[in-house]
Structure 1
């Protein structure tokens, strides 16, 4: 005899048991990494070349992060952005959903040859950090006069 009982549908939709386990393991891994002082997340970034500024622009989504908690290091090959998003969770709250990642972060952006790290600038506004790394000016070409030595020596070869 065939059962007409429909199995109860999971509140997680199509997530299977192993998928749910993976979600919990990822949460625990992030929590453990935060306790050990390791990087927990990489902020989203847009990296582009601004023709008008003749510069590489790196724009990072750092919502909720105090700019005083952000370190920037730049050299001729890379820009390194690191810092901490401090935990602002309410201690008495019972969360239904938690998607904001707290803890240390780091992002390294490779830069093209020819940037001028000494001229880099950074601005923070409305949760976005924008770092502008200008290109070095192209050296001007110089004409070099060719001196003919055979004429100075009386035509001798």
Structure 2
């Protein structure tokens, strides 16, 4: 039997092993800012919602979830690519967010976290007042004489 050489398969295998962490492989995430909040979409297909745990301690946001193996013990695997077990992922929150107002929603296998920007970190307009001396001159002005001279 001849073996074929596929450089892209080998390259993919090498890059997958070195660039992806177990957490990112099991819990891929998209994170973006929209207006005055950050949004994280974390893929958790096949996870029982009761096993999802999201907590904040200090400035660390931790997401835990469990995907249970539902197959029989007596099987012969031909391909087993979907990870099972308990997974965790941590994000370090900056001081510009409000961790006490984070909201979480799990729908269609995607956990969505909405992380509001802290009020003190929002840009705001500061009005500038001018407290100069004002002098009121009373009298009549003529065309030949400038006012205030």
TM-score (norm 2): 0.63
Runs of 5+ unmatched residues, structure 1: 1-7, 27-38, 147-157
- The equivalent position to 1:70 in structure 2, one of 44, 52, 58, is 52
What SS does the corresponding residue of 1:109 show, helix, strand or coil?
strand
- The equivalent position to 2:69 in structure 1, one of 75, 81, 87, is 87
- Matched residue, 2:2: 9
Return the alpha-carbon distance in structure 1 between the equivalents of residues 102 and 30 of structure 2. Answer: 17
Residue 120 of structure 1, CA deviation:
0.7
- Matched residue, 2:28: 44
Q: Is the 8 A contact 2:26 2:83 kept in 1?
A: no
Larger radius of gyration: 2
Displaced runs of 4+ in structure 1, greater than 4 A?
139-144
Greater CA drift, 112-121 or 97-106: 112-121
Return the alpha-carbon distance in structure 1 between the equivalents of residues 5 and 80 of structure 2. Answer: 20
Q: Is the 8 A contact 2:44 2:109 kept in 1?
A: yes
What SS does the corresponding residue of 1:57 show, helix, strand or coil?
strand
Q: Deviations over 1:107-146 (max 9, x none)?
A: 11222321111111000011000011101113875989x9
- Aligned-residue RMSD, C-alpha: 3.4
Return the alpha-carbon distance in structure 2 between the equivalents of residues 102 and 60 of structure 1. Answer: 16
TM-score (norm 1): 0.60
- Matched residue, 1:154: none
What SS does the corresponding residue of 1:89 show, helix, strand or coil?
coil
Equivalent pairs counted in the alignment come to: 117
Q: Is the 8 A contact 1:75 1:117 kept in 2?
A: no
